[in-house]
Structure 1
Amino acid sequence: MIEEEIKEKYLLAGKIAYKCLTDAAARVKPGVSIAEMVEASEDQIIEMGGEIAFPLNISINADAAHDTPSPGDERVFEEGDLVKVDLGVHIDGYVADTARTVDLGDNALLVEASREALNTAIRMIKPGIVTGEIGAAVQNEIEKRGFKPVSNLTGHGLDHYMLHGIPMIPNVAINGGTTLEEGMTFAIEPFATTGTGHVSESPRVEIFSQIAKRPVRMPAAKRLYKEIMKKNSLPFARRHYYSEKSDMALAQLIRNGVLRGYPVLHDISGSLVSQAEHTLIVTGDGCLVTTAENNRI
């Protein structure tokens, strides 16, 4: 079971996330600055009383996850782009994680594949369901539309200041898995692709998080470390702390084992990936979708 006070924080985070994602998606238009769109969306989270759970991810075309603007980023959205907008909000460490795909081209069926896989999965949620069954349903919805699910990306449990915990929600059929229980909170996020169905790491890394506490000598690294500690291990973007010496300080913290990076994840060149995501709380007879209007799909 989940305490009522905690549930209310999850629900408030979800309400803010729903509004901010809806507005963020509406900002995605050809010619619009990606950096300005992201800044406006992250500012809106704060203005609405939430906190940023992770940098707004804007992953385009073959990129599936973990891209966000770099300092001074001059990219703009282009006609034909398939844009994944992935947004996280927290209230006192209780997270809402949600995403949708904005199609600036002609990819309606691919967008539908991930969206309907998500909706089908949500309709299955109740105590006693095993996560492998959810993965099978996600895979079926994507494959029957002629695409592949991304097998090495999954949904994930959410907890206090924790973005990736139990249960893991696969995007393909697996034997067994976790049996869902009332009060479990997690995100389901199907990815559909025209590519291989497997993502790999690119050289681009703009998102980091703290993974350990270690002594640091360099003054600039000490200052950055002090600021990062306020995130309580939640991810941040390089642009959030950018200054004349911040890249050198960031590199020092990585070498010291204080931070880890999250490379952009992508399918093969020329492929297209769509994503859809909601955060849920399992109830006695179903679930609350915290990141949907009125908590229902």
Structure 2
Amino acid sequence: MNIYIKNTKEIKKMRISGNLASNVMNMISKYVIPGTTTEQLDNICHDYIVYEQNAIPGCLGYHGFPKSTCISVNNTVCHGIPRKDQILKNGDIVNIDVAVIKNKYYSDTSKMFIVGETNTLSKQLCHAAKKSLYITFKKIKPGIPVNIIGNTIQNYIDSTPFSIVKEYCGHGIGKNFHEKPYILHYKNQDTTILFKKGMIFTIEPIINAGTCEVFCMNDNWTICTKDDQLSAQYEHTVLVTKNGCEILTKRTQEKIHKKYINI
């Protein structure tokens, strides 16, 4: 498998891109309130990326995707298309997925937002999705098989009532939005791919409240849960360092480390 290892110059550019993506998430949080439409959120993100950051929204036009962000509400698993008729209401859970291109390099991140006050199940699901991502950071270092990520996520999710969507995975990222390696979020036996210093990829587990089965809507983009139950996802862009990893899209308020040393 041809995995592109980033050099020092490229890593510097991707740190910049990653920081911009995390800033979009910080910026948009105050607008995720009852009565706002997903199209309004998308417009705000678009204008911020283009006019404030002087960057490019990575989703816009990618394989024909019509908007600058993916916004997935409640039972939408991923790739939700922002709409003017989709109005957020109290209790909704919302994933906003942002990719930013700066100096020709991509970064990619997403997080869950809770609109107003919601129920216990929604909170538990969002917590599980976030934790399933966070616990992988302590496992990453050069020489370890990449499948440790999927194994770690599934070991945790198996202790919850929830399930892991298997159709979508993390991916290498750099000058291209999607590169090798592919990062599976469930247990697998492939130990042929090892982490190497300079590898950059996303980890983005999708966790469902019910079964893991999903289907695609007629717009050929929007993926929903087959049983109409809730879904949640968190995502970060991660760099493998000489003795651990660095979270390139870490947000300032997140209670995680920017860098992990995993001896």
Matched residue, 2:39: 35
Instruction: Verify: 1:57 aligned to 2:57, yes or no.
Output: no
Taking the TM superposition and a 5 Å limit, the aligned residue runs for 1:86-125 are: 86-104=97-115, 105-106=118-119, 107-125=122-140
Matched residue, 2:204: 189
Matched residue, 2:146: 131
Taking the aligned partners of 1:278 and 1:96, their CA distance within structure 2 comes to 9
Matched residue, 1:219: none
Taking the TM superposition and a 5 Å limit, the aligned residue runs for 1:114-263 are: 114-160=129-175, 162-177=176-191, 178-205=193-220, 263=221
8 Å Cα contact 2:55/2:101 also seen in 1: yes
Q: What is the total number of aligned residue pairs between the two structures?
A: 237
Taking the aligned partners of 1:200 and 1:150, their CA distance within structure 2 comes to 11
Taking the aligned partners of 2:80 and 2:159, their CA distance within structure 1 comes to 29
Percent identical across equivalent pairs? 26
Taking the aligned partners of 2:156 and 2:94, their CA distance within structure 1 comes to 21
Q: CA deviation at 1:49?
A: 2.6
Taking the aligned partners of 1:201 and 1:270, their CA distance within structure 2 comes to 12
Taking the aligned partners of 1:149 and 1:175, their CA distance within structure 2 comes to 17
Q: Identify which of 5, 20, 28 aligns with 1:16.
A: 20
**Letter matched to residue 64 of structure 1:** V
2:187 is paired with a residue whose SS is: coil
Matched residue, 1:48: 53
8 Å Cα contact 1:109/1:145 also seen in 2: no
**Letter matched to residue 242 of structure 2:** G
**Letter matched to residue 94 of structure 2:** V
Q: CA deviation at 1:269?
A: 4.1
> Alpha-carbon deviations, 1:228-284, whole Å to 9, x = none?
xxxxxxxxxxxxxxxxxxxxxxxxxxxxxxxxxxx2111124310010000011111
**Letter matched to residue 277 of structure 1:** E
Taking the aligned partners of 1:50 and 1:8, their CA distance within structure 2 comes to 16
Structure 2 residue runs without a partner (length 5+): 60-67, 253-257
> Alpha-carbon deviations, 1:68-88, whole Å to 9, x = none?
225xx2221112211111101
2:85 is paired with a residue whose SS is: coil
Taking the aligned partners of 2:158 and 2:127, their CA distance within structure 1 comes to 12
8 Å Cα contact 1:63/1:265 also seen in 2: yes
Taking the aligned partners of 1:90 and 1:169, their CA distance within structure 2 comes to 21
Structure 1 residue runs without a partner (length 5+): 206-262
Matched residue, 1:4: 8
**Letter matched to residue 20 of structure 1:** V
Matched residue, 2:90: 79
Higher helix share: 1
> Alpha-carbon deviations, 1:182-202, whole Å to 9, x = none?
111100001110122132211
8 Å Cα contact 1:87/1:97 also seen in 2: yes
Q: Which has the larger radius of gyration?
A: 1
**Letter matched to residue 106 of structure 2:** V
**Letter matched to residue 57 of structure 1:** C
Shift in alpha-carbon separation, 1:140–1:103, aligned structure 2, 3 A = farther
Shift in alpha-carbon separation, 1:140–1:26, aligned structure 2, 3 A = farther
Shift in alpha-carbon separation, 1:23–1:66, aligned structure 2, 3 A = same
Q: CA deviation at 1:293?
A: 4.0
**Letter matched to residue 81 of structure 2:** T
Instruction: Verify: 1:274 aligned to 2:232, yes or no.
Output: yes
8 Å Cα contact 2:14/2:174 also seen in 1: no
1:204 is paired with a residue whose SS is: coil
CA RMSD of aligned residues (A): 1.7
TM-score (norm 1): 0.75
> Alpha-carbon deviations, 1:48-71, whole Å to 9, x = none?
23211112110111111111225x
Shift in alpha-carbon separation, 1:131–1:198, aligned structure 2, 3 A = farther
TM-score (norm 2): 0.85
> Alpha-carbon deviations, 1:11-56, whole Å to 9, x = none?
0111111111122233211111221111011111121232111121
